[in-house]
Amino acid sequence: MTENSEIKKLPNDRVIKKLSEFGEGFKYHHENYGASFITAMRDTGGRWDFGDLVFHFPEHFGFCYGVDKAIDMMFETCERFSSPPVSPHHTGVVGSFAAGGPIPLESRETGGGVSGHRIFLTDQLIHNPTINDKLKEKGVHYLKRDLHNLLICDELRSGDIVVVSAFGTDFRDIESLKNRGVTIVDSTCGAIINVWKRVEGYAKNGYLTVMHGKRNHEETRATVSQAVKKGGDYIIIENSLEAEELAQVIRGKTPEADFIKKYPQAVPENFSFDAAVCKMGMANQTTMLKGESLRIQEILKKAFQDRFGETGLRERFKSFDTICGATQDRQDALRNLFNKPLDLLMIVGGFNSSNTSHLAEIAQGAGGGFLTRPYSFYHIESVQDIMSRDEIRYRDPQTGKVETRRDWFQKGIKNIGVTSGASTPDVTLLEIIRRLAILKRAS
Ligand code: SF4
């Protein structure tokens, strides 16, 4: 079978949105990143006595359903459509090629595979170095973005497959990909799509979207684009301080143009608005700290109230808590973990993972008061960050900088809390626990 004839077997210009659309025989690849031992921790009250150490786990940690889905779709795409060898469990033709039908597996008759397709990702699939390294090993390519943060699709050709990351992507990217005639595997998390619907609704009803999120985060960029898609505009607010500044604009105390000039990345190009007549609807990146999102909501609400009164507030300001349940569960569970007598807390997840960074901020906000001794907490990515008993690499949640610290593992440490962000595999936690146990034995 020639490469060209194989390529014809994949329906082009098609968007796959669910794992089930691959047809029968798809795998749950996220299970490869689990560790039965860690799963047992969840089932046994989250405590593990190991020699002189006691590890404490929160009720919720690690992979969320959105990450599970993205990993399954991504690795299934690689397994079925990238270069051989193809897994032996994928044999037999399943389904039809009709639009909307399942994606065919390789042909049993020919013994060949629907393989050899180039696979691209729009962005990092999730913010986790272990998973991203694994995808690079599999030969997955990453598309680049232009100055407007839109995908550069020139290198794509018919027959390629492009996987949209769990964060989603700008609606204009999807249009460009469709124009290139590629197959799109869309792993955007359903919780994010729900926020998009809210933002679209704002735009359709003439509301300016105010988004609490990180301006450079893929999810935030994708979400605000949904407002643009429906003819609306947006302002991205990163924190309460910026919300206070916007509130002054709403009150008519600061000119709109001053705010836009100060935060050009917060708004679309050539954007302007008139606070005297505008209506605003608030949404937030799903992984933000709920407390801060609610604070921002209150700040803006108060500004509308001050300027337009109660009736004006009702007509001109809408808000909706769009923090996802999985993020909230992990944040609440960490707060509960502070009731344990911890000497040390390890927070595990990508340094660019929004939800993991917020877990570290929660630990920092607790001021170390939850620790029984003057020890510390560390946000690390993987076991490689624990260089030795004398040296650890970690991300400081206050500065965002990656630092190293010496003499970090004190001899008297006994109770260690361990948690992980929604994009961190359990196997990474297990490696870290093993490493800590070894350090303790050697101390
Ligand atoms: S953290 Fe929430 S929004 Fe993000 S991928 Fe997971 S479930 Fe989806």
Alpha helix (H) residue ranges in 1-119: 3-8, 36-43, 65-81
Same-domain pairing of 71 and 162:
yes
Same-domain pairing of 392 and 403:
yes
Q: Is the dihedral of CA 263, 269, 270, 275 positive or negative?
A: negative
List, as one string, the DSSP characters of 346-385.
Answer: EEES-TT-HHHHHHHHHHHHTTTTTBSSS--EEEESSGGG
Same-domain pairing of 182 and 223:
no
The structure tokens listed for 59 are: 């009720």
Same-domain pairing of 9 and 141:
yes
Same-domain pairing of 123 and 223:
no
Same-domain pairing of 177 and 209:
no
87 to 33, 37, 46, 74, 375: CA distances (angstroms): 18, 27, 36, 15, 48
Boundary of a domain, candidates 272, 299, 323: 323
Active site residues: 219
199 in a structural domain: yes
* pTM reported for the whole predicted model: 0.86
For 414, the domain range is 326-442
CB burial string 304-321: b at 16+ within 10 A, e below: bbebbeeeebeebbbbee
> What is the number of the ligand 1 atom nearest to the C-alpha of 126?
5
Same-domain pairing of 212 and 296:
yes
Boundary of a domain, candidates 157, 189, 221: 189
133 in a structural domain: yes
Compute the distance between CA of residue 77 and CA of residue 115 in angstroms, rounded to an integer.
10
> What is the number of the ligand 1 atom nearest to the C-alpha of 192?
3
Give distance in angstroms: CA of 134 to centre of ligand 1.
21
- How many domains does the chain divide into? 3
Same-domain pairing of 362 and 312:
no
The structure tokens listed for 290 are: 């709920």
Please list the pLDDT of the chain residue by residue as tens digits (443 residues): 334 334 335 555 688 998 888 877 888 899 888 888 888 877 777 888 888 899 999 999 999 999 999 999 999 999 988 754 334 343 322 222 233 344 443 332 223 334 578 999 999 999 999 899 999 999 999 999 999 999 999 999 988 999 999 999 999 999 999 999 899 999 999 999 999 999 999 999 999 999 999 999 999 999 999 999 999 999 999 999 999 999 999 999 999 999 999 999 999 999 999 999 999 999 999 999 888 999 999 999 999 999 999 999 999 999 987 889 999 999 999 999 999 989 999 999 999 999 999 999 999 886 656 676 566 899 999 999 999 999 999 999 999 999 999 989 988 899 999 999 999 999 999 999 999 999 998 87
Same-domain pairing of 235 and 102:
no
Contact in structure between 182 and 210 (CB atoms under 8 Å):
no
Domain of 409, CATH number, reads 3.40.1010.20
The residue contributing the CA closest to ligand 1 atom 5 is 66
Boundary of a domain, candidates 302, 323, 344: 323
Same-domain pairing of 371 and 437:
yes
54 in a structural domain: no
Same-domain pairing of 126 and 177:
yes
Same-domain pairing of 365 and 304:
no
Question: Ligand 1 pocket: which of 65, 123, 188 to mutate (most atoms <8 Å of CB)?
Answer: 65
201 in a structural domain: yes
Number of H helices, E strands in the chain: 13, 16
Domain of 128, CATH number, reads 3.40.50.11270
Q: What angle do CA 106, 109, 110 make, to 5 degrees?
A: 70
46 in a structural domain: no
